[in-house]
Chains A and B, each alone.
Chain A
Amino acid sequence: MNRSAIVDFFKKYDFTFFGISIAIFIMGVFNLYSATHASSSSAMADLFKVQSGWFALSLVIGFGISFINPKTFFRYSYLFYIVNVILLVLVLVLGHKGMGAQRWILLGPIRLQPSEITKIAVILVLGRWYSKSYPDRELGFKELIIPAIIVMIPTILIVMEPDLGTGLLVMLIFLVVSFYRRLKWKMIGILAVMALVSGGVMYKFGLKEYQRKRIITFLNPGADARGSGYNAIQSKIAIGSGQFAGKGFLKSSQASLNYLPENHTDFVFSIFNEEHGFIGSLILISLYMILFFRYIWLAQSVPRMFDSVVAIGIMSLFFWHTFVNMGMVMGLMPIVGLPLPLMSYGGSSLVTFGICTGVATSISNARNLF
């Protein structure tokens, strides 16, 4: 490629996905610093550096992926899916335990968390199935059977770990993608009823004690003996005390006094609100909204059905993470422990979002490059 070709390429390269992500990350890393700087342990206080390292890595990976032709994703989607299911089984057999659940396997120095990969694998495999199986028809009961099986296999494996949050998330992605692929309204009604019933049954029989406790805590914060209700209340105090303009950077009293546990993961949004107030949140949430609408725009401007479905899938992944996390810290939802994309501390979620951004960019570039 000569020089002008490279310039030409980058003129056509879609930087919006990476651009917005970097903007959100920068706000996030400052916020992370604020949440942890008062911590007595130096390991905690250095988390923002670790986070930056992970982000750099996820950018490199995502950027690399953006140069792959989307047809390649299409071609290898089934293989990717099968490998992922095998990994999920391996986790159950020989996984390492953390917080009472086994979620990862060790590959040399790398701690692989297959449930993270599942999110991407399910999006790709649904994209392929929905783009090839009578893509012109509306989805009825018959058309939903095979995709449902495809999604349920990894979901059940994930719930068995147990990682209820991710399992639920995969189902929600499935719901959004199917809706986009013209799921009949009648089916939507049936599914809603089924979800309510199975939810009740799950709550009664399928949940572990701590999972049930979280739901009770949400419904009645005073009912919990050991303080998760307390966390919900402290989180609300943090958010509310930010008022319109916030207390200012590094001024969060709730964080520095350790009122909030996990304030570097699940509760970053509370700290952000305490310090930057309503106006700060408006800016942050707007950035997320711009990102989401860019995905919806992408889904409607690609020439191939696979690309379109995948774009919606990735959007829904980002959206549910964001909405559930915010809803949970604001007391609108039970505490399920989903990180806020690009804001919460955590290497594996950063890498996942980096990969997704790379895939989206690749799809966008394909409109005029490939």
Chain B
Amino acid sequence: MFGEDDLVRQHKSRADVIGNILILCFVIILARLWYLQIYQGELFYKFSLENRLRKEVIKAPRGMIFSRNSQMLIHNIPRFDAVIIPQYLKNKNVTLKRLSKVLEMSEEDIKGILKKNRGQARYRAVTIKKNITLKEVSVIETENSKMPGVRVQTFISREYRDGNVGAHLLGYISEINQRQLPKYRKRDSYDYKLGDFIGQAGIEEKFDLDLRGDDGYEFVEVDARGRMRRNLRSSVLFAGIENKEATPGNNIRLTIDRDMQLSAFKALEKKVGSAVAVDINTGEILAMVSRPAFDPTKFSRGLTKEYWDSLITNELNPLRDRTIQEHYPPGSTFKAITAIAALEEGIVKPDQELKCGPTFRLGRRVFHDWKRGGHGPTDVYKSLRRSVDVYFYQIATQLDIDKLAEYARMFGLGEKTGIPLSRETSGLIPTKEWKLKRSGEEWQLGETVSCVIGQSYVLTTPLQLAMAYAAIANGGILYRPHLIKEIFTNNGEIIKKFEPEVVSKATVDEKNLQAIRKGLYQVANHPRGTAFWYKGFGLQMAGKTGTAQVRSMTSKELFSKCEEMPYKDRNHGLFVGYAPFDNPQVAVAAVVEHGCHGSSAAVPVVRDVLTTYMKKYDAETFAKNEKKEKEEYYSFIRKRTAARKKAQEEAEAKKEADESSEEDAEE
């Protein structure tokens, strides 16, 4: 056996080998250093001092967005920024003075901007003025040698063809901010940098990854003043470096119809509100506008502080998308749902008449009808046509609120529709459990009485109303709002295609739906219908008006003139309609905030959008119906005038007769 000492000695040969390997590595490192520092040292030295190798990012053009008919809604155009690269800035005072003259801004401002960006790497460009004019570009380029460190950066600006129209839907892009940076890096596992533009709202936000594309880069050699010298493609020294071309982002085709979008926006002019149009048979969104709006182009061009301030200090909140981010009491538009529930649950039959006086008493509480005199005997058609509150109050006593909620949910109310846009609100359909959870109190029957006419806790978004009425029109099929038709590359190759998606089918008897649809038809086409006077001609429209109270009112206020109340207290006007009645194509919901009446404020909006649709897609039917409706209308007017005249004559005749009989008596 060996002693421990001998054991160690046994390994001497291996220790020697290790020593030799060490020497070999030593030689390799020194050889490499020799190669870099002595053999190529001068070249590298030159590069490190006078010349800078710079990696220039080539921004990928962002994808474009088209309407359903391939009309361009968003496109890209080049613009220019004046920037300073601090590393190359020389004769600071002289240069800045010169630059301030060119850009017509004060030296202090420029210094302030530089100071603010002192923390970042000195070779990074600091933007001094965004979106400079072509004249400024040419001055900077020609006087380049006198202003070392100042450069013009080309940029692609994103322009929104129709400006404010559909701004909420399309969204906008702006620079990623400090707060978003870590969050988005994690979310997309993509190395965002400050200065990168990302979609911040609407489709721009939701489909950012599809639209963005992939930035490229090229290596360029620049001199000490930051000017580009030559492309490094052929350089021997940097063999192995390859430039990468930018891959443009993918384009999106929407389901939106540009003409309908424009007409909806125009119809809402000088109003605060929104409108949504949806294809009844596919769930495709045809128009979706909200007013007041903003100009998304101003965001992608570099937002000015003034414009941003004007947006966020505006009480009407132009940045809010009122079609999905705002919810309102649906008012009488909700009566269609209540009526469906009442028929389905067998509380009333379609032809069954209820006695409807001016008020309804529940215990000590008195509920008023909107019409002071009451409506008299009312069946379900009249209840919709005349929007008879007392009819629904009576139903409320027999209709469990949870049952009503069940029907409301069947038509998609109180739940997010799942439209691919951010910050959608779900609205609210109250239940007993919800109330208990919220306030710890039991549900009151009086609350049901308010809920059946779409007041109290009930809240819906305009989009939900449009989807619900589309389902009423198509026999109960609730679609998912369908906004994106397809995503395709610059070469026209389709990457993703989206198909209509059915959320659920309402379990409702078709006969009952027919009765409701008949009532909705009368709303617009019966001379006593609430929408009759604003319906236009040629649509064969069905629908329901609604007037939503903003706050609870005393009975005196209830009957005072809405237009005379303070703006904030005025009722919202709503209308949800679809057309044509016998072959439903499109449903439109419109909400006009503080518009006082559904009929006068909201019906014209829906009418205009539907008219645009019919004229564009089914002009023949439209012309035929227009003729028919006009004939009906004028014959009705003639009859009414004749009847009035006759009544007047009769009254006069009677008066005369009375007078003569009086005379007789006197005699």
State whether these chains interact.
yes
Interface of A toward B, CB cutoff 8 Å: 40-41, 135-136, 176, 179-182, 209, 220-223, 225-227, 229-230, 233-234, 236-244, 253-254, 257-259, 273-274, 277-278, 281-282, 285, 289, 292-293, 296, 299-300, 302-305, 308, 312, 315, 319, 323, 326-327, 330, 332
| Cβ-defined contact, A241 with B47, below 8 A | yes
| Cβ-defined contact, B18 with A258, below 8 A | no
Which B residues lie within 8 Å of A308 (CB)? 8, 11
Min C-beta distance of B645 to chain A, whole Å: 83
Task: Say yes or no: A240-B37 contact (C-beta < 8 A), given A289-B26, A323-B25.
Answer: yes
| Cβ-defined contact, A182 with B10, below 8 A | yes
| Cβ-defined contact, B48 with A136, below 8 A | no
| Cβ-defined contact, B18 with A233, below 8 A | no
| Cβ-defined contact, A293 with B22, below 8 A | yes
Min C-beta distance of B307 to chain A, whole Å: 32
A238 to B41 CA separation, bound complex (whole angstroms): 10
Across the A-B interface, the 10 shortest Cβ-Cβ residue pairs? A240-B44, A241-B48, A243-B41, A222-B242, A222-B241, A258-B121, A240-B36, A241-B45, A241-B44, A278-B37
| Cβ-defined contact, A274 with B53, below 8 A | no
| Cβ-defined contact, A240 with B4, below 8 A | no
| Cβ-defined contact, B15 with A312, below 8 A | yes
Verify if B551 is at the interface (C-beta below 8 Å from A).
Answer: no
A277 to B28 CA separation, bound complex (whole angstroms): 17
| Cβ-defined contact, A241 with B10, below 8 A | no
Task: Say yes or no: A289-B118 contact (C-beta < 8 A), given A259-B123, A308-B8, A330-B29.
Answer: no
**Pick from A239, A285, A312: contact of B37, CB under 8 Å:** A239
Interface string of B216-250 (1 = CB under 8 A from A): 01010000000000000000001011111000000
| Cβ-defined contact, B14 with A180, below 8 A | yes
A180 to B41 CA separation, bound complex (whole angstroms): 39
**Pick from B10, B33, B123, B189: contact of A273, CB under 8 Å:** B33
| Cβ-defined contact, A223 with B48, below 8 A | no
Q: Which of A179, A257, A315 has the most CB of B within 10 A?
A: A257
Which B residues lie within 8 Å of A323 (CB)? 25, 29
Min C-beta distance of A296 to chain B, whole Å: 5
A328 to B19 CA separation, bound complex (whole angstroms): 22
A319 to B28 CA separation, bound complex (whole angstroms): 14
Min C-beta distance of B78 to chain A, whole Å: 23
Verify if B38 is at the interface (C-beta below 8 Å from A).
Answer: yes
A292 to B45 CA separation, bound complex (whole angstroms): 32
**Pick from B33, B119, B242: contact of A223, CB under 8 Å:** B242
A7 to B609 CA separation, bound complex (whole angstroms): 102
| Cβ-defined contact, B123 with A182, below 8 A | no
A319 to B23 CA separation, bound complex (whole angstroms): 12
Closest B residue, CB atoms, query A252: B48
Min C-beta distance of A309 to chain B, whole Å: 9
| Cβ-defined contact, A41 with B119, below 8 A | yes
Verify if B655 is at the interface (C-beta below 8 Å from A).
Answer: no
A209 to B105 CA separation, bound complex (whole angstroms): 47
Verify if B49 is at the interface (C-beta below 8 Å from A).
Answer: yes
Which A residues lie within 8 Å of B38 (CB)? 243-244, 278
Q: Which of B22, B49, B87 has the most CB of A within 10 A?
A: B22
| Cβ-defined contact, A257 with B47, below 8 A | no
Interface members, chain B 1-16 (any A CB < 8 Å): 1-2, 4-5, 7-12, 14-15
**Pick from B8, B29, B37, B241: contact of A243, CB under 8 Å:** B37
**Pick from A176, A285, A304, A332: contact of B18, CB under 8 Å:** A176
A300 to B238 CA separation, bound complex (whole angstroms): 47
| Cβ-defined contact, A182 with B15, below 8 A | no
Min C-beta distance of A168 to chain B, whole Å: 17
Could you list 27 examples of A-B contacts with CB < 8 Å? Answer: A136-B10, A180-B14, A182-B10, A209-B189, A220-B240, A222-B244, A225-B217, A230-B55, A233-B238, A237-B44, A237-B47, A239-B44, A240-B44, A241-B41, A242-B41, A243-B44, A253-B48, A257-B121, A258-B123, A274-B48, A277-B37, A278-B34, A285-B26, A293-B22, A300-B8, A312-B18, A332-B32
| Cβ-defined contact, A327 with B18, below 8 A | no
Interface members, chain B 401-417 (any A CB < 8 Å): none
| Cβ-defined contact, A237 with B53, below 8 A | yes
Verify if B30 is at the interface (C-beta below 8 Å from A).
Answer: yes
A220 to B238 CA separation, bound complex (whole angstroms): 11
Verify if B667 is at the interface (C-beta below 8 Å from A).
Answer: no
Verify if B215 is at the interface (C-beta below 8 Å from A).
Answer: yes
Min C-beta distance of A245 to chain B, whole Å: 10
Q: Which of B2, B37, B43 has the most CB of A within 10 A?
A: B37
Closest B residue, CB atoms, query A183: B14
| Cβ-defined contact, A242 with B37, below 8 A | yes
Which B residues lie within 8 Å of A136 (CB)? 1-2, 7, 10
| Cβ-defined contact, B4 with A300, below 8 A | no
Min C-beta distance of B189 to chain A, whole Å: 8
Which B residues lie within 8 Å of A179 (CB)? 14, 17-18
Interface string of B471-505 (1 = CB under 8 A from A): 00000000000000000000000000000000000
| Cβ-defined contact, B41 with A282, below 8 A | no
Closest A residue, CB atoms, query B241: A222
| Cβ-defined contact, B19 with A240, below 8 A | no
Task: Say yes or no: A296-B49 contact (C-beta < 8 A), given A233-B238, A304-B8, A305-B8.
Answer: no
| Cβ-defined contact, B11 with A239, below 8 A | no
| Cβ-defined contact, B123 with A278, below 8 A | no
Min C-beta distance of A369 to chain B, whole Å: 17
| Cβ-defined contact, A257 with B26, below 8 A | no
Task: Say yes or no: A319-B36 contact (C-beta < 8 A), given A182-B14, A258-B122.
Answer: no
Interface string of B164-201 (1 = CB under 8 A from A): 00000000000000000000000001010000000000
Min C-beta distance of B240 to chain A, whole Å: 6
